[in-house]
Structure 1
Amino acid sequence: MISRRALCGGLAALALPRPALAGSAPEITRLRYQGGAGRVMFPELAEDLGYLAPIRLEWVGNTISGPQDIQALVTDDVDIGGAFNGSILKMIAYGAPAVAVIGTGGSDALSSSKLCVMSNHPVRTAADLRGRTIGLNALGAQSEFSLNRYLHNGGQGDVDTAGITLVPLPPVALEGALRMGRIDAAMFPAPLQDIAMARGGLQEVFSEYDLFGDLMMNALAMRRSFVAQHPATARLFVGAMARAIEWARVTPRATVIARFKSIVRRRGRNENLMPLDYWKSTSVGQPGGVLQPTDFSIFRDWFVRNGEPRLAEVNLTQIYSNSFNPYAARTPLPSDPE
């Protein structure tokens, strides 16, 4: 449980400096980040579109989960890190020196994580999951939260009370583990479930869109010390990323996919391009990734009801800041398709 000292101490230190004026030169021109194999992150798209100049991204490796990416941020191994909003909320409440600065995705009608089983498997409902083994990309993160929410809605309590065994696996290994019978079900992130479903033999049990509808579930964070020391860099970066999100939203899907493939080919990491064909949407609910209290309150309220009452004291506006996002000020930058 979070102590009052940890909670209040962590939040009291969250005040951000006044954002640098538009047009101010960035204090540094290199940002360290982790990527994803076979994926294009919005910062990478922003750089490729020319929005990020003169800042350059420095790839330090790939991550397979939000918790690992955020840990790398807190330990100063990267300058930007993305994760599930519930994880970011807890991290900051526990005193981690970070702040969410822009939304990066979630669930919508086109893109949403899904729990799937083999078509001949008896699991079809929350009750059927009792005592089963489920694969997911990380413990204590978005997939586990969604699974608990589904179980709760179906009157089955949570993962622990339902006797479910969770098996963390790299996302690309989930389908193989499911088809080989090593797990009973798999929580696939988009678009991996579409790829697996296209091969046949799988049945969807539920999707995050079924549970939450349109919801921003992920954000990108920065360390408070970084923002304090480099406000112009933070402003340029967030504005560039917001423009990239809107470019992807308004540009024809085929053009976006072609651009993604070009980026992946040119970085020369011997990655599989096929998953990019299944990209369907940004799944970013607000223009430019502007964050809202509801992007965090749904998770805070759940945690409060399920054994962490101290989180009720968290002021959500101290968890995130739209200070550097031009779309929050209703002055969006141009993002016409190229």
Structure 2
Amino acid sequence: MTAIFSLRSLALTTALGLSFGTAAEAEVTLRYLASHGGLSAHELAEELGYYEGTGIKLENLGYASGGPESLIALAGGSADIGSAATSAVLNSIIGGNDFVAAYPTQGINDEVQSIFYVLEDSPIKSIEDIAGKTVAVNTLGAHLDYTVREALHQKGLPQDAVNLVVVPGPQLEQVLRSKQVDVSAFGYWQTTFEGAARQGGGIRAIFDDTDVLGEIAGGFVVLRRDWVDAHPQEARAFVDGAAKALDWARENPDEAKKVFAKVLSERGENPEVAQYFAGYGVRKGGLPVERDIQFWIDVLEREGKVEKGKLKAADILLVSGEAVAAK
């Protein structure tokens, strides 16, 4: 439990706007999979120099098609950092993986959200109209998949009433405009692609995930619990740097876009899409609240995926805003 208490101290320090400034005992390398068109907060932290002197070194292994792929890599030991929608994280834990949620990757609010688009002349006007239609999402079993299921549930429709097809983020606009799909869902982490598509005109939003879920964390960066237990100081430094980067991006949006453009260019991606980065949408201090996890636990209990009361948000979160407020 030492790691938990250390990270709660981290959250308190971060919330107060302070810095640890304590070097780790030894250098550790954290391997991760990147996301096309995006930059995780820990990647931004590295660019900003927040990990210098902490013993944290990041190694990019390439790209993940979606969160579930990164969780598989984490579970199998080929990666040290996973990043996925909360529903996917919980499904992985239910499947037997002992993961903990380190920090929220992004938040869903009026500024940063996943948006479901159709062509301007499409007859689809509402959530009810997507029943029987084909919807493009970046991966199955993750945020967009569960958002569609929850949207249908709230309208009293079967949760499998939509045909979901997997389309990589860079091709979402193309498959919609070529009418290969009826709807393209741009995730909250794909605001760069969404902005570019919107700029081209001829498309119309029918709903977004805040309409379905309210303001909530979209997903989490996760670590293996045994790694956190073995490296409490490094885990603290990792989360501290990411939390600081989340705050920096919110306070310096124009500079953040420049960093995004630089990194995308270095990766061989299109740096022009960086201008559409809408921010991470995470609460000040980068701290989650228990509802961020509990909402999806309740959904999975309702669907019979997990026994009621078996999972608790407090056991999955390394730290929460409620824990900090209670100190």
- Is TM more than 0.5 here? yes
TM-score normalised by structure 1 residue count: 0.84
Residue 166 of structure 1 corresponds to which residue in structure 2?
164
Residue 108 of structure 2 corresponds to which residue in structure 1?
107
Cα offset for 1:235?
0.9
Check 1:260–1:25 CA distance in 2 against 1; reply closer, same or farther (3 A cut). same
- Alignment of structure 1 residues 148-227 onto 2, 5 Å: 148-158=149-159, 160=160, 162=161, 164-189=162-187, 190-191=190-191, 192-227=193-228
Cα offset for 1:17?
6.3
Residue 295 of structure 2 corresponds to which residue in structure 1?
298
Runs of 4+ in 1 over 6 A off after TM superposition: none
Identity fraction in percent: 29
Structure 2: gaps of 5 or more residues: 10-19
Residue 47 of structure 2 corresponds to which residue in structure 1?
48
Cα offset for 1:94?
2.7
Alignment partner of 2:78: what SS? coil
Cα offset for 1:157?
2.7
Residue 310 of structure 2 corresponds to which residue in structure 1?
313
Q: Is the 8 A contact 1:84 1:142 kept in 2?
A: yes
Q: Aligned equivalents of 1:63 and 1:101: distance in 2?
A: 19
Q: Aligned equivalents of 1:171 and 1:263: distance in 2?
A: 17
Cα offset for 1:42?
1.0
Residue 119 of structure 2 corresponds to which residue in structure 1?
118
AA at the equivalent of 1:120: D
Higher mean Cα deviation, 234-243 or 94-103? 94-103
Q: Is the 8 A contact 2:2 2:229 kept in 1?
A: no
Cα offset for 1:18?
5.4
More helix by share: 2
Q: Is the 8 A contact 2:250 2:279 kept in 1?
A: yes
Residue 10 of structure 1 corresponds to which residue in structure 2?
none
Q: Aligned equivalents of 2:308 and 2:79: distance in 1?
A: 27
CA distances 1:72-112 after superposition (whole Å, capped 9, x unpaired): 11111111111111111222233202111111113111111
Residue 94 of structure 1 corresponds to which residue in structure 2?
95
Q: Aligned equivalents of 1:309 and 1:74: distance in 2?
A: 20
Higher mean Cα deviation, 208-217 or 44-53? 208-217
- Tell me, yes or no, if structure 1 residue 19 matches structure 2 residue 19: no
Cα offset for 1:120?
1.3
Q: Is the 8 A contact 1:178 1:184 kept in 2?
A: yes
Cα offset for 1:15?
8.8
- Tell me, yes or no, if structure 1 residue 245 matches structure 2 residue 246: yes
Residue 30 of structure 1 corresponds to which residue in structure 2?
29
TM-score normalised by structure 2 residue count: 0.87
Q: Is the 8 A contact 1:35 1:63 kept in 2?
A: yes
CA distances 1:136-166 after superposition (whole Å, capped 9, x unpaired): 01111100111112212222231x2x2x211
Q: Aligned equivalents of 2:260 and 2:323: distance in 1?
A: 27
AA at the equivalent of 2:112: S
AA at the equivalent of 1:264: L
CA distances 1:213-270 after superposition (whole Å, capped 9, x unpaired): 321121111111211221111111111111111111112x2222112223333xx321
Q: Aligned equivalents of 1:247 and 1:61: distance in 2?
A: 25
Alignment partner of 1:186: what SS? strand
Q: Is the 8 A contact 2:30 2:58 kept in 1?
A: yes
Alignment partner of 2:175: what SS? helix
CA distances 1:115-144 after superposition (whole Å, capped 9, x unpaired): 111111111123322221111011111001
Higher mean Cα deviation, 218-227 or 148-157? 148-157
Cα offset for 1:279?
1.0
